[in-house]
Structure 1
Amino acid sequence: MQQAIKVDDLISAAEERLASRFKEVDGIALVNQERVLAAFRHHRLTEEYFAAHTGYGLDDAGREVLDNVFASVFGGEAACVRVQFVSGTHALACAILGNVEPGGRFVCLTGPPYDSLEEVLGIAGDEPGSLKRLGVEYVELDLDPLSVSEIEMIESIEKVESAGPVSVFYIQKSRGYSSSRRTFSGNDIARLCQAVRKASASALIIVDNCYGEFVEDREPLSCGADLIAGSLIKNPGGGLAIAGGYIAGKRTAVEAALNRLTAPGVGGHMGLSFGENRLLFQGLFMAPFTVSQAVKGAMLIASVFEELGMRVSPGSMDERFDIIQQVEFGQADRLINFCKAVQRFSPVNAHVDPEPCRMPGYQDEVIMAGGTFVEGSTIELSADGPLRPPYSAFIQGGLSYQHVKCTLRGALALSLSLELPFI
């Protein structure tokens, strides 16, 4: 009982400290909800667009309207929203592979990409179909607008351009599994895009928008990017999408990506939604609110662990640009215990323990706690991390703030009782 009171006091104190920040999050959610609602109204959504179709899907009017709504919400000329994208990595791969030129170069501006993208780019492994096998050179820069001046950014980009034509400049908004880099804001992305445009007028700018949708009140396309891509079982699916991804931006670039998903000449004209249109529409409608719940939950986790003397990133009072919260545990067993504790307070599979294992696309063993309704969903509360120093958990999601709070409370109690110590 004393432990429960201590935990409750710790959480209550954190909520008091965060009260003003929570109001700011609610304000951003309102702006985003208004934008989403305006898109739904503009495109005159009706029940007929929820209907399921068969075969080629040539007459799937709901698919077309869903694409148009996403384009309006994210500020693009066009969009494609497809359950056929098996992951965010798949959507990104189609966006990249559809828009690189033979013999061209792919330049990542923000340091190493996600582990899961390394084989797509050919910087790990030697998979058929990778950029490397297609003869596209991978170039990596590390341009953080907080530490690199605009002149230095332009000079770095011009130096790369002078060595050969660049097809794509790539920006990863979120930090991924990196403990050394930060998540980029819309302002950061705008500065990078401005530097690219001053050095290279023609190359396409693609932004990996995973985990960042609706956290700020604007999206990368309004910051100068040409194309964005992400997963529907993250932020924009609102916890209701069962699978899929999206791409939005310049019409020609979206069409090129669709040619990779299907085939040249087919593009986006075919492909069933498998009766999922209603959930995709409804998930998008819920997304601004759901994301706000996840952001508040991440802030609470950061504040409590800060009070316990642990290293977190971002800090509890820092601005948020994605839904990911990093907590460093310093030891493998503590990371594993924390993930097991999170799993115990999941709505699905709470009775099982996650174990570290090898996963496709990752170079290290990864432990994942995710008792989610949709497998792999990270807009639902989950915690995972690679088993490598500093043994950080990357916590994301939460369909409701209350679930995050319940999980934090229960996990701390398990640690204090020494059943699953991680503090």
Structure 2
Amino acid sequence: MDLGGEREALLALAETVERELAPLHRAFERRAERHLERILAAMQRHRISGQHLVPSTGYGLGDVGRRGLEAVYAEVFGGEAALVSPHILSGTHALAVALFGLLRPGDGLVLATGVPYDTLLPVIGIDAEGRCADPPFGEAPASEERRPRALGPGSLCALGVRPTLVPLRSDGRFDREGAIEAIRENTRVVFVQRSRGYANVPSRSVEEIADFVEGVRRKAPHVFVLVDNCYGEFVEEREPTHAGADLIVGSLIKNPGGGLAKGGGYLVGSEEAVSRAAERYTAPGIGKEIGATYPGLGDLYMGFFLAPHHVAEALKGASFAAALLARLGFAVSPAADEPRTDIIQAITFGNRDALLDFLAAVQEMSPVDAFVTPVPDEMPGYADLVVMAGGTFVQGSTAELSADAPIRPPYVAYLQGGLTYAHVKLAALHAARRLLEKGHGRI
């Protein structure tokens, strides 16, 4: 790899950064060991055998592999039950299954952590201010400028669900008191997004979520607390379900798939919450009793087994990239030594050219499609143009190294994943060289 004129300076800086981060990296590795110990215990307790790795076909009736995997997920993530399926298409799909399963017409939905991730806006049927842009069936439609892109007729708003958006505080933290105050008699679900998404604000820790859940329980014991757990699995010592959340949701091509899952998603939580969601996922009366797993079931088991290690590698890479790019003068969040609650590293570039140069450099250091240049384009569910760098073995995988950004000021890139620390390190160094060559940043 040619690092150009700054090679020696960059390598010296990288060595300094690694020395400084060594204690933190060891802490990530020790936490991964503790998570692996829990996974091993769950797999042993549920007597996972070669029979569990054999996929099913057709209806998938009596699929012991699927049932075993769900039992392991439920135990490791602190739930009573789980729904794990390769047929859940994305994290957004998993969240839609949960929301439509838990909510009924007339129910209230409190969005406790501000505006949710872009792709969830059309699912709920709201604009960026939290207003229903898709009215209940039979009412006059919203004006086109208030309709989220690609909004269909089947959103929660269209079905009569009433969302309440609780804005974030001025420091970017979620307003715990305001969210609890927003709960009304008709509130059925309180939604928490653990990760920052495409907002340059702090992600939410399990400790924060635990404190919030306690407050919700005191005011409204009947309410379901639903947590979007994408990017957060195995990052902290425990998951939101350990802290009292009724249901957590995530994607298998993110953290828990360990880089091996070719697709899928999961829901883990209380028996009631999972059962309701499962009947939305398939059909009433069927729930999670059927569902063939097809080839790849073994990958879901092995990926989950490897996930803590790969998450630790991603965290090591994110902290290295944060430290290196901060030394070049870019604002990063979280800082290299800040506590992390997900695998996402935000880097603010301040201008479009620097952002695109960074993403092009990440793409160039990919094992797949390294020869292509990522360009901004429309993406389903996003209001802004989005550019994605990710030459991954699994399309769209963020367990593997990738970076993406909405094309809007202040031009923030979101770097995530990395199956090995070495890959993230090499990509960060290459991106640093590219930025310096283009006149962005200073060493």
1:128 aligns with 2:153: yes
Q: CA deviation at 1:191?
A: 1.0
**Structure 1: how far apart are the matches of 2:172 and 2:310?**
33
Which has the larger displacement, 86-95 or 263-272? 263-272
Partner amino acid, structure 2, of 1:286? L
Whether contact under 8 Å (2:362, 2:403) holds in the other structure is: yes
Equivalent pairs counted in the alignment come to 416
What are the superposed Cα offsets for residues 295-323 of structure 1, whole Å, 9 maximum, x if unpaired? Answer: 00000000011111110000011001100
**Structure 2: how far apart are the matches of 1:110 and 1:262?**
29
**Structure 1: how far apart are the matches of 2:284 and 2:342?**
34
What residue in structure 2 maps to residue 30 of structure 1?
33
Whether contact under 8 Å (2:362, 2:431) holds in the other structure is: yes
Which residues of 2 match residues 132-281 of structure 1 at below 5 A? Answer: 132-142=157-167, 153-154=176-177, 157-161=180-184, 164-179=185-200, 181-281=201-301
In structure 2, the residue corresponding to 1:355 is in which secondary structure? coil
Question: Given the superposition, is the C-alpha separation of residues 31 and 146 from structure 1 closer, same or farther in structure 2, using an over 3 Å criterion?
Answer: farther
Partner amino acid, structure 2, of 1:87? S
Partner amino acid, structure 2, of 1:160? I
Q: CA deviation at 1:288?
A: 0.3
- Choose the corresponding residue for 1:46, options 33, 38, 49: 49
Whether contact under 8 Å (2:325, 2:432) holds in the other structure is: no
Which has the larger displacement, 206-215 or 55-64? 55-64
Which residues of 2 match residues 15-414 of structure 1 at below 5 A? Answer: 15-124=18-127, 125=148, 126-142=151-167, 153-154=176-177, 157-161=180-184, 164-179=185-200, 181-414=201-434
Which has the larger displacement, 27-36 or 74-83? 27-36
Whether contact under 8 Å (2:173, 2:202) holds in the other structure is: no
Q: CA deviation at 1:158?
A: 3.8
Aligned-residue CA RMSD (Å)? 1.7
Q: CA deviation at 1:145?
A: 12
Partner amino acid, structure 2, of 1:58? L
Q: CA deviation at 1:108?
A: 0.9
Q: Could you tell me the TM-score, scaled by structure 2's length? A: 0.91
Q: CA deviation at 1:333?
A: 1.3
Q: CA deviation at 1:156?
A: 5.1
Question: Given the superposition, is the C-alpha separation of residues 8 and 159 from structure 1 closer, same or farther in structure 2, using an over 3 Å criterion?
Answer: closer
Whether contact under 8 Å (1:290, 1:399) holds in the other structure is: yes
Partner amino acid, structure 1, of 2:384? D
Whether contact under 8 Å (1:154, 1:196) holds in the other structure is: no
What are the superposed Cα offsets for residues 39-97 of structure 1, whole Å, 9 maximum, x if unpaired? Answer: 11111110111112221111311001011010011010000110111000000110111
Whether contact under 8 Å (1:310, 1:329) holds in the other structure is: yes
**Structure 1: how far apart are the matches of 2:156 and 2:320?**
41
What are the superposed Cα offsets for residues 319-349 of structure 1, whole Å, 9 maximum, x if unpaired? Answer: 0110000000111111111101100010000
What are the superposed Cα offsets for residues 9-56 of structure 1, whole Å, 9 maximum, x if unpaired? Answer: 111111111111112111211111111111111111101111122211
Whether contact under 8 Å (1:301, 1:408) holds in the other structure is: yes
Whether contact under 8 Å (1:154, 1:198) holds in the other structure is: no
- Choose the corresponding residue for 1:7, options 5, 10, 25: 10
Whether contact under 8 Å (2:52, 2:64) holds in the other structure is: yes
What are the superposed Cα offsets for residues 193-215 of structure 1, whole Å, 9 maximum, x if unpaired? Answer: 01111111111000000000000
Which runs of 5 or more structure 1 residues have no equivalent in the other structure?
none
In structure 2, the residue corresponding to 1:24 is in which secondary structure? helix
Whether contact under 8 Å (2:261, 2:300) holds in the other structure is: yes
Whether contact under 8 Å (2:112, 2:179) holds in the other structure is: no
What are the superposed Cα offsets for residues 203-258 of structure 1, whole Å, 9 maximum, x if unpaired? Answer: 10000000000000100001110100000000000000000000000111111111
Q: Could you tell me the TM-score, scaled by structure 1's length? A: 0.95
Q: CA deviation at 1:2?
A: 4.3
Partner amino acid, structure 1, of 2:186? P
**Structure 1: how far apart are the matches of 2:424 and 2:193?**
26
Which has the larger displacement, 187-196 or 140-149? 140-149
**Structure 2: how far apart are the matches of 1:148 and 1:398?**
27
Question: Given the superposition, is the C-alpha separation of residues 394 and 197 from structure 1 closer, same or farther in structure 2, using an over 3 Å criterion?
Answer: same
Which runs of 5 or more structure 2 residues have no equivalent in the other structure?
128-147
Partner amino acid, structure 2, of 1:137? R
**Structure 1: how far apart are the matches of 2:110 and 2:313?**
35
**Structure 2: how far apart are the matches of 1:251 and 1:216?**
24
Identity %: 46
Whether contact under 8 Å (1:335, 1:422) holds in the other structure is: no
Partner amino acid, structure 1, of 2:99? I
Question: Given the superposition, is the C-alpha separation of residues 153 and 369 from structure 1 closer, same or farther in structure 2, using an over 3 Å criterion?
Answer: closer
In structure 1, the residue corresponding to 2:234 is in which secondary structure? coil
**Structure 2: how far apart are the matches of 1:212 and 1:320?**
9
Question: Given the superposition, is the C-alpha separation of residues 156 and 108 from structure 1 closer, same or farther in structure 2, using an over 3 Å criterion?
Answer: closer
Q: CA deviation at 1:143?
A: 5.9
**Structure 1: how far apart are the matches of 2:409 and 2:377?**
16
Whether contact under 8 Å (2:354, 2:435) holds in the other structure is: no
Whether contact under 8 Å (1:71, 1:249) holds in the other structure is: yes
